Amino acid sequence: MTQELPQVIDHLFRRESGKMVSYLTRIFGLGRLNMAEDVVQDTLIKAMETWPLRGLPDNPSAWLMRAARNRAIDLIRRDTHFKFVTPELTHLLRLREEEGEEGPVPAKEIQDDQLRMMFSCCHPELSPDAQVTLILKTLCGFSVSEIAHAFFTQEDAVEKKLGRARKTLRESGSFVELTNNLDIPQRLEAVYQTLYLLFNEGYHGSRSDRKEPEELCYEAMRLTLLLGQHSEGQRPKTFALLALMCLHAARLPGRLADDGTLIQLEFQDRSKWDQALIGKGLEYLEKAWAGQLVSEYLVEASIAGLHCSAKTYEETEWGKILELYNLLYHLKPTPVVALNRAIALGKARGFEKGLEALKAIPGAEKLKEYPFYSAALGEFHLLAGQPQEARAHFAEAVKQSRNEPEKVFFERKLKSCQD
């Protein structure tokens, strides 16, 4: 167990860091976000020093939160800048006196802090990209490199964006209160986008250094459920996003082979799919369709629902999926959506149509480093009886692969063209 502790600590820290930063930032104020993050880092160091000697606590998450709170109190008492004690600080200091260092931090308080922090990060003076970047870094435990991969951008661009976003938060100085029903609706879109990106990072696992990338999926689902519990979050778009996450997460057990390599949808063992989660996703999908808004999340969830409802790959209703991708492209005309629409077109109407659509994607240059574009070209060229062209595209996909499972998968596709 001692040898495994560093991995356990890293796992717990990544999962709990957002909760800790949210809680501490409410105590310190938005102007001292850096101080909150420093306390969280100090807490990690303390865990790495203490746990190997004393063993893993019975409740590691509670230990981390208590340690962070106690460290914050120590800083407050020593720091002369805290001349004006806020109600939150008064409450915190009283709890310390009444309950001692081992007193618990209420779960509901932590949940409200996370939700409050999510909306506070979505400041109207920040661009949507900057809002999402700030939440991913501050609340979701993303590294700068992981954010860069999620946005298909460079790390220095992410650093600059974070710097400007933090400055805006410092100058704003106040949180969005959960009782303020004017600010919350106008900031929902950025929150939705963040949760969507967080889930996608876990589902597609673009970073090979994540030992359990699917945990990001479950973290995104947890935060979306938290949003759905708030009166302003009980909207069709929230239910659509939850449906999408449930239906994709249900297929996670069938996506990877025992050796960790990707399994193509056509060859997945559907008995491994989580039927309970599929059922829950379809329930949320029905609630979302009952609303008046047709969002991109609703269309994507409906596509996922058709995949999950097909008993076999051959029974997949590609015609309906193509119709939904046409609608999705109307709502969200991006190169990635165009890529998926072209693949659906090829499945529904023949590989020739699919190949034509792939080559005609507007803005295809944005996909030049996206391996699944090259792979789709390779797949359709192979079906067209053009193995030489297929090999070139699969070789490109191998070079573009973002992690080892993708690389092995594309290498096997490349080898299949040479057999």
Segment 371-415, tens digit of pLDDT: 999 999 999 999 999 999 999 999 999 999 987 888 889 999 999
| Top-ranked range on mean pLDDT: pick from 44-58, 128-142, 262-276 | 262-276
19 and 72 share one domain: yes
Count of structural domains within the chain = 3
CB burial of 217-233 (b: ≥16 within 10 Å; e: otherwise) equals bbbbbebbebbeeeebb
Last residue of a domain, one of 161, 192, 215: 215
User: In the predicted model, is pLDDT for residue 3 greater than 60?
Assistant: no
Q: Report if residue 94 sits inside a domain.
A: yes
pLDDT of residue 34: 83
pLDDT of residue 211: 46
Structure tokens at 225: 């459920």
Q: Report if residue 133 sits inside a domain.
A: yes
* Across 66-82, average pLDDT: 78
pLDDT of residue 2: 52
How many percent of the chain have pLDDT more than 70?
Answer: 88
| Among the listed residues 365, 367, 404, 397, the one whose alpha carbon sits nearest the alpha carbon of residue 381 | 397
Structure tokens at 172: 């704003």
58 and 143 share one domain: no
pLDDT of residue 53: 86
pLDDT of residue 194: 84
CB burial of 263-292 (b: ≥16 within 10 Å; e: otherwise) equals eeeeebeeeebbeebbebbbebbebbeeee
Cα separation, 351 vs 385, in Å, equals: 11
Last residue of a domain, one of 167, 186, 215: 215
pLDDT-derived band at 208 (thresholds 50, 70, 90) equals very low
**Residue bearing the bigger pLDDT, 12 or 234:** 234
Q: How far is CA 62 from the centre of its chain?
A: 24
- Which amino acid is residue 254, in one-letter code? G
User: In the predicted model, is pLDDT for residue 286 greater than 60?
Assistant: yes
Structure tokens at 402: 């973002």
H-run or E-run covering 324: helix 318-331
User: In the predicted model, is pLDDT for residue 416 greater than 90?
Assistant: no
Lowest mean pLDDT among 120-129, 228-237, 249-258, 343-352: 120-129
Structure tokens at 287: 């609630």
Q: Report if residue 228 sits inside a domain.
A: no
CA distances from 349 to 266, 319, 321, 346, 362 (A): 17, 8, 12, 5, 21
42 and 96 share one domain: yes
Last residue of a domain, one of 171, 197, 215: 215
52 and 146 share one domain: no
Looking at beta carbons, which pairs linking 216-225 to residues 24 or more positions away fall under 8 Å?
Answer: 216/140, 217/245, 217/248, 217/249, 217/252, 218/249, 219/15, 219/140, 220/195, 220/196, 220/245, 221/245, 221/246, 221/249, 223/114, 223/118, 223/195, 223/198, 224/195
* Residue 262 DSSP class: B
DSSP-assigned letters across all residues of 139-208 = TS---HHHHHHHHT--HHHHHHHHHHHHHHHHHH--PPPTT-TTHHHHHHHHHHHHHHHHHHHHHHT--T
Q: Report if residue 332 sits inside a domain.
A: no
User: In the predicted model, is pLDDT for residue 320 greater than 90?
Assistant: yes
Q: Report if residue 207 sits inside a domain.
A: yes
118 and 24 share one domain: no
158 and 177 share one domain: yes
pLDDT of residue 105: 67
120 and 64 share one domain: no
Sign of CA dihedral 179, 184, 185, 189: negative
pLDDT of residue 381: 94
How many other CB atoms are found less than 10 A from the CB of residue 310?
Answer: 16
93 and 146 share one domain: no
100 and 116 share one domain: no
* Across 226-231, average pLDDT: 88
99 and 135 share one domain: no
Q: Report if residue 280 sits inside a domain.
A: no
pLDDT of residue 102: 58
Residue the block writes with tokens 């779960």 = 107
| Among the listed residues 272, 369, 344, the one whose alpha carbon sits nearest the alpha carbon of residue 263 | 272
10 and 25 share one domain: yes
Cα separation, 212 vs 223, in Å, equals: 18
Q: What angle do CA 154, 160, 163 make, to 5 degrees?
A: 140
pLDDT of residue 1: 47
pTM of the predicted model as reported, rounded to 2 decimal places: 0.82
CA distances from 405 to 66, 87, 411 (A): 38, 51, 10
CA distances from 14 to 11, 116, 281 (A): 5, 20, 26
Cα separation, 194 vs 196, in Å, equals: 5
Domain coverage including residue 177: 108-215
User: In the predicted model, is pLDDT for residue 88 greater than 70?
Assistant: no
pLDDT of residue 357: 96
Helix (H, G, I), strand (E, B) or coil at 256: strand
Q: Report if residue 306 sits inside a domain.
A: no
Q: Report if residue 328 sits inside a domain.
A: no
User: In the predicted model, is pLDDT for residue 87 greater than 60?
Assistant: no
Helix (H, G, I), strand (E, B) or coil at 374: helix
Cα separation, 294 vs 324, in Å, equals: 11
* Across 257-271, average pLDDT: 89
97 and 128 share one domain: no
Backbone angles phi, psi at 333, to 5 degrees: -80, 70
How many percent of the chain have pLDDT more than 90?
Answer: 43
Q: Which residues contact 224 (CB under 8 A, 6 or more apart)?
A: 195, 238, 241, 242, 245
